[in-house]
Amino acid sequence: HAHAHGHCPITGAHSHAYCPRQHGDSRSPCPALNTLANHGYLPRDGKCITPAVLIHALRAGYHLSYPLAAFLTHGGFFLIGQRRRRICLHDLSRHNCIEHDASLVHPDVAFRDEYAPVDIHLHMLDDLMRYSTDGTLMTPDDVARARVAREAQYAIPIDKVHAEIARGEMAIPAPLRGVPNEMLRVWMHEERLPDGWTPYHRVGLLHTMRMATRLRRSMRALEKENRKSAR
């Protein structure tokens, strides 16, 4: 079936039940936003998204604070250079705007392509899960180790802006105590909210900045340790 006018004829126009993407739907490299579309917080076809629509979806679906939702939304619209104030999710895959090399679950954009692939590679997700220290939770320190290993594959480091974006991508979903691996797998691979999942606290801008700072410090410590070991 098709998601005509951004609605699912099976689940209903106002339902937040899961319905995966259909042929012709627009999707991004970001599982978080694709999940919001699959659950109807964003238009299910992933099209005609205004800043107000995106802010509301981030707040309703993930319980983000208004300052954080507004910061992510307006910053994202600015980075992809969309002046018409309406985007489709695929606009976010334009290379080196928000999308960047050294993703944990996506391959890099092909040479001379303007847009990056939006589907994750399952073997890359499996590789990410192997960094879980206890095999159950993915903690911020586990994410830091995964990012250091991924970025070490590049002779030229990714620039500071995209390095910060890469840390922020995991700073929002990863609480201090970590996120269950299976929950992360469902969210990233199936692009749906895990059964029974509800946001248990509001995620604010300051919290996200602190988590990104923690990831940055952990990564620097690991990189320093790796340089010592290489001598």
SS3 95: strand
Q: What is the mean pLDDT of residues 88-111?
A: 92
Name 95's bridge partners. 99
Mean pLDDT, the chain, as a whole number?
90
pLDDT for the residue 173: 74
Residue 176 has pLDDT above 90, yes or no: no
Query: Which is nearest to 80 in space by CA: 111, 49, 44?
Result: 49
Residue 198 has pLDDT above 90, yes or no: no
Q: What is the mean pLDDT of residues 112-117?
A: 91
Residue 103 has pLDDT above 70, yes or no: yes
What are the residue ranges spanned by the domains of the chain? Answer: 4-230
pTM, two decimals, is 0.92
Q: Which amino acid is at 215?
A: L
pLDDT for the residue 16: 93
Token reading at 202: 């509001």
CATH of 4-230, one of 1.10.489.10, 3.40.50.280, 1.20.1600.10, 3.40.50.720: 1.10.489.10
pLDDT for the residue 99: 92
Q: In this structure, are residues 31 and 20 in contact, taking their beta carbons and an 8 Å threshold?
A: no
Query: Which is nearest to 43 in space by CA: 73, 64, 22?
Result: 22
Query: What φ, ψ does residue 99 adopt, rounded to 5°?
Result: -60, 145
pLDDT for the residue 84: 66
pLDDT for the residue 167: 85
Looking at the chain, the whole-number percentage of residues with pLDDT higher than 70 is 97
Token reading at 145: 């180790």
pLDDT for the residue 4: 86
Q: In this structure, are residues 32 and 193 in contact, taking their beta carbons and an 8 Å threshold?
A: no
Q: Tens digit of pLDDT for each residue in 122-164? A: 999 999 999 999 999 999 899 999 999 999 998 888 888 888 8
Q: Tens digit of pLDDT for each residue in 68-97? A: 999 999 999 999 988 668 999 999 999 999
Q: Tokens 């993703």 label which residue?
A: 103
127's CB contacts (< 8 A; 6+ apart) are: 146
pLDDT for the residue 201: 76
pLDDT for the residue 175: 67
75's CB contacts (< 8 A; 6+ apart) are: none
Given 3-state DSSP classes, what are the helix, strand and coil percentages for the chain, each rounded to the nearest 5? 50, 5, 45
Q: Report which of residues 42 and 4 the model is more confident about.
A: 42
pLDDT for the residue 227: 84
Q: What is the mean pLDDT of residues 4-30?
A: 91
How far CA 71 is from CA of 68, 78, 80, in Å, comes to 5, 11, 14
